[in-house]
Amino acid sequence: MPTVGLIVEGEWDIEVLSRFTGRLNPTGVNVRPLACRGSIQGRYFNLLRVLSATCNPDRVVVISDAHGRDHEELASDLRREISHQVFAFPVHFVVLVQELEALLLADLRAIETVCAQRGTPIADLGNLAETPENIPDPKAYLQSIIRRHSGSAYTKVIAGEIATEANLNTVSNWCPSFRRLRNAVTLG
């Protein structure tokens, strides 16, 4: 079975992006995620070497949140960091605008479903009017939705459950970042 290595910022990213990667490869894929435990910039090179030595992936996708920066500029900066290195696998770069939670906010029905499965059904969250990538702080926004409508804290487990429930076409339609992620992690 092919292997996709993911290099991400942290544990929350592993929880969500591993699920999305698995779902975007319906014929099956091993997902090998590693976290930088903070900013990707200047830290991911050693994790590329770890993946090279331990699992020889078919490809590696380095995924960063934009955190207010232009996604194309940040992706170029990340590419430049390893421009002088050669790996036995292709390395792709995806910058999520602004944060991972923008992807989760793209399917409000998935949020409603997860809250209902956890025993706290919430009223209709309405519909999106624009891409959640335009929300300045999507994480704080999602935290407030979960807290306000379900009384629960937003956790990485809930984030993973939303990623599992999310309609991939809906997320793709609303989030250009997700389309870049889909193109980078889908094998075949």
Report residue 78 as tokens.
């990340």
In this structure, are 12 and 58 located in the same domain? yes
The domain total for the chain is 2
Q: How confident is the model at residue 124 (pLDDT cuts 50, 70, 90)?
A: confident
Better-scored residue on pLDDT, 3 or 67: 3
In this structure, are 158 and 94 located in the same domain? no
Question: Residue 151: is its pLDDT beyond 90?
Answer: no
In this structure, are 148 and 131 located in the same domain? yes
In this structure, are 94 and 12 located in the same domain? yes
In this structure, are 158 and 69 located in the same domain? no
Find the mean pLDDT for residues 156-171: 97
Task: Give residue 158's domain range.
Answer: 101-171
In this structure, are 23 and 44 located in the same domain? yes
In this structure, are 40 and 110 located in the same domain? no
In this structure, are 10 and 78 located in the same domain? yes
In this structure, are 85 and 112 located in the same domain? no
Residue-wise pLDDT tens digits, 2-55? 999 999 999 999 999 999 999 999 999 999 999 999 899 999 999 999 999 999
Residue from 45, 40, 41, 35 nearest 12 by CA? 35
Nearest-angstrom CA–CA distance, 145 and 140: 9
Find the mean pLDDT for residues 154-182: 97
Find the mean pLDDT for residues 61-76: 95
Alpha carbon of 60 to those of 3, 30, 78, 87, 126: distances in Å? Answer: 9, 12, 13, 10, 37
Question: Residue 175: is its pLDDT beyond 90?
Answer: yes
Q: 15: which DSSP letter? A: H
Q: How confident is the model at residue 150 (pLDDT cuts 50, 70, 90)?
A: confident
Q: How confident is the model at residue 154 (pLDDT cuts 50, 70, 90)?
A: very high
Q: In a 10 Å sphere around its CB, with 0-12 CB exposed, 13-18 middle and 19+ buried, how is residue 169 labelled?
A: exposed
Find the mean pLDDT for residues 166-185: 98
CATH of the domain at 88: 3.40.50.261
pTM for the whole thing? 0.95
In this structure, are 180 and 93 located in the same domain? yes
In this structure, are 38 and 91 located in the same domain? yes
Q: How confident is the model at residue 122 (pLDDT cuts 50, 70, 90)?
A: confident
In this structure, are 12 and 105 located in the same domain? no
Outline where DSSP puts E strands in 1-86.
3-8, 30-35, 59-65
Average pLDDT value for the chain: 94
